[in-house]
Chains A and B, each alone.
Chain A
Amino acid sequence: MSLLSIRNLTKRFGGLTAVNKVSFDVEEGAIVGLIGPNGAGKTTVFNLITGNYRPDEGDILFAGTSIKALRTHKIVSMGIARTFQTIRLFQKVSVLENVLAGRHCRMKAGLVAGMLKTPFEKKEEREALRYCVEELEFVGLKGQESQVADSLSYGNQRLLEIARALASEPKLLILDEPAGGMNEQETEALVGLIGKLKGRGLTILLIEHDMSLVMRACEHLVVLEYGCKIAEGPPETVKNDPKVIEAYLGAD
């Protein structure tokens, strides 16, 4: 059984069909790239997976269960975490607290425990802090815990988004243009990070226009155009698919 299975997914905005009967699978442990021209509906697919939009048709199965009607936070707690195309950090909040946001769904202390600082709450906080610090270290942001998120450089903000997503211990991580706004050196580091994530057993679905990253990081590609899937397969095959070249890559 695949970890994520998209079945006949359709989403319309008014007269526009942004996603049109798209189906594909993401196997456990795989790194899958979702590519396609601007406006092809990639981000919309992500928004459908994470419950930000509701599909008009089709279904989304995560580990066998349909998640298409669940609310976003529920989906996150089931094990899907994401980053956003335009960075959406909590700008005026410290870096570590940004990561703690991701940890939220794995914690239990409520209102009363928080007011009274019960031993359970204290222990849980301590562990959460430790876990989040580790995740920050993992993405390479050690020592910046107390900075305000918006004071980080653009590339680091992207990494922070990844750390926040990781803090929820997802099984599936979905990244929307993680290398957007990064220079080639930073992109290089990102490829390394994605490799390490795979090492941890995570499954990753990503959107990216930087083909150098896509080619190096992904094992499988799905190509959308005008909301429809036009190709799917291993990177080398897709790269040479004339339809993909015409719609997306352009001739050299």
Chain B
Amino acid sequence: MGEGMILKIENLHVKYGQVEVLHGINLHVNKGEIVTILGANGAGKSTTLNAISGLVKVSSGAIYFEDQPISKVPAHRVVELGVAQAPEGRRVFGTLTVQENLNLGAFTNRDGDNIIQTLGWIYELFPVLLERKNQLAGTLSGGEQQMLAIGRALMANPKVLLLDEPSLGLAPILVKAIFKTLKEINEAGLTIVLVEQNARAALKLANRGYVFEVGKVALEGPSADLLEDPNVQNAYLGGNH
């Protein structure tokens, strides 16, 4: 594993039943980077994140986190190692309160001070969550749930944060705020892998990017290059808008 690399995926294959949906993904993330993964619906972005987190079984290939192979490590151990995910579809614990959800995010976090600090910071970032502290997460509006999912992942105090379409369903003002925050926490040392439909914003934020097409990496490179790439422009940036 290369110098400064925190996460590395080699020739990753994943199947759902009989159907293979990832056909040999190669990808790496350096410490302190923001890497974005783009791609059409069904390209395998979420599957890749879930493979890293250990939620789906890897059929072949390897995943390394800090030089340690993790493709066979169970999901809960991966979190303990320092990889947290805010998953697609939010998956908040609907019958628990907002506060309880956030506490669960800190399940593996044994640093009490850090928990209190992070919690305060999350409530500052998303004041609505503070207002809704004792409301059941299931009754939150779509966007509020999205905030909760992001906040919950941050509570783990991870080394790498995996975000699956964090801007989905958020008001523009919040999207801006979140992207700004991501920048800040990244600068504070957190490595981020960002799956996004909002390609332009994601590329503007990220250091590097990968473009997936039907379970393969079609393009990769520094964000600036991808932003300029005519293929990317046509397919993901909505032409000339």
Contacts and interface: CB of A to CB of B under 8 A. Distances in A.
Q: A and B: direct contact (Cβ < 8 Å)? A: yes
Interface of A: 13, 16, 36-40, 43, 85-86, 153-156, 177, 180-188, 209, 211-212, 247-250
Contact of A183 (B89, B141, B143, B197): B197
8 contacts: A181-B197, A182-B197, A183-B41, A185-B239, A209-B169, A209-B172, A212-B238, A250-B173
A180 B168 contact: yes
A36 B172 CA distance: 9
A39 B139 CA distance: 10
A249 B175 CA distance: 9
Contacts of B142: 38, 43, 85-86, 177
Given A184-B198, A185-B238, A209-B175, 12 more contacts: A38-B146, A38-B170, A40-B141, A181-B165, A181-B197, A184-B237, A186-B41, A188-B238, A209-B143, A212-B238, A247-B173, A250-B173
Contacts of A86: 89, 142
A154 B41 contact: yes
Contacts of A36: 171
Contacts, number: 94
B199 interface: yes
B176 interface: yes
Q: Which of A37, A186, A188, A211 has the most CB of B within 10 A?
A: A37
A154 B143 CA distance: 18
A153 B40 CA distance: 9
B177 A13 contact: no
Q: Which of B89, B172, B177, B234 has the most CB of A within 10 A?
A: B172
B69 interface: no
Given A38-B141, A153-B40, A177-B142, A85 B237 contact: no
A39 B143 CA distance: 7
By Cβ-Cβ distance, the 6 closest A-B pairs, closest first, are A38-B143, A184-B238, A250-B173, A153-B41, A153-B42, A39-B141
Given A153-B40, A153-B42, A37 B173 contact: yes
B217 to A, nearest CB: 17
Contacts of A186: 40-41
A38 B166 CA distance: 14
B190 interface: no
A38 B147 contact: yes
Contact of B144 (A38, A183, A247, A248): A38
A159 to B, nearest CB: 11
Interface string B99-140: 000000000000000000000000000001000100100011
A158 to B, nearest CB: 9
Contacts of B139: 13
B91 to A, nearest CB: 11
Contacts of B197: 181-184
A39 B175 CA distance: 15
Contacts of A183: 38, 40-41, 197, 199, 236, 238
Contacts of A248: 171-173
A185 B174 contact: no
Contacts of A37: 143, 171, 173-174
Contacts of B188: none
